[in-house]
Amino acid sequence: MNTDSHAVYPSSADSSVPRRAVKRSPLPFLIAWVIIIAAGVAGAWFYTQHIQQQLALQIQQQTNKQIAQMQSAYDAKLQKLESGYSSDMTELQGKVDSLNELLAFNRDNASSKTDNSNKLFTQLNDVQKQLDELKKNLEVLK
């Protein structure tokens, strides 16, 4: 006989009844798959956000670099134009001064106004207008 009181042996009546297989619920399996899929979607979303931020930062850096290059090229061209206008104005001012001296000399030597002095005055006025236009263009460029 059995001296072990903890062991339970099926009786002869229980052995004739077939045991029913334990049917497991698919709910835990489905919940696990839903959690895995949700984690994958969340991970993909976070990764795309991270990539978008990195791309935006890289594009911003490239844009800033290009803007700086364009600004330096613009400044160089503007400096070149300013120096060109300055030299042109200096040359034109020299011509105006030369014409003024010539005109003063002609007035001093002429007893009355002649056609030559009128031509010199006209040329002087034309040169003065050109000088004024160059000054205005320089101011616009600045």
What sign has the CA pseudo-torsion 95, 96, 97, 98? positive
20 inside domain: no
19 inside domain: no
58 inside domain: yes
33 inside domain: yes
2 inside domain: no
Quote the pLDDT of residue 95.
Answer: 86
4 inside domain: no
Number of domains in the chain: 1
Averaged pLDDT, groups of 10, the chain, 142 residues long: 51 58 85 97 98 97 97 93 87 86 75 62 83 83 72
Range of the domain at 113: 26-141
131 inside domain: yes
85 inside domain: yes
Measured between alpha carbons, how far is 17 from 14 in angstroms, rounded to an integer? 6
Tokens, residue 14: 């229980």
What sign has the CA pseudo-torsion 126, 131, 137, 139? negative
Quote the pLDDT of residue 136.
Answer: 84
Quote the pLDDT of residue 119.
Answer: 74
Quote the pLDDT of residue 19.
Answer: 66
pTM of the entire predicted model: 0.45
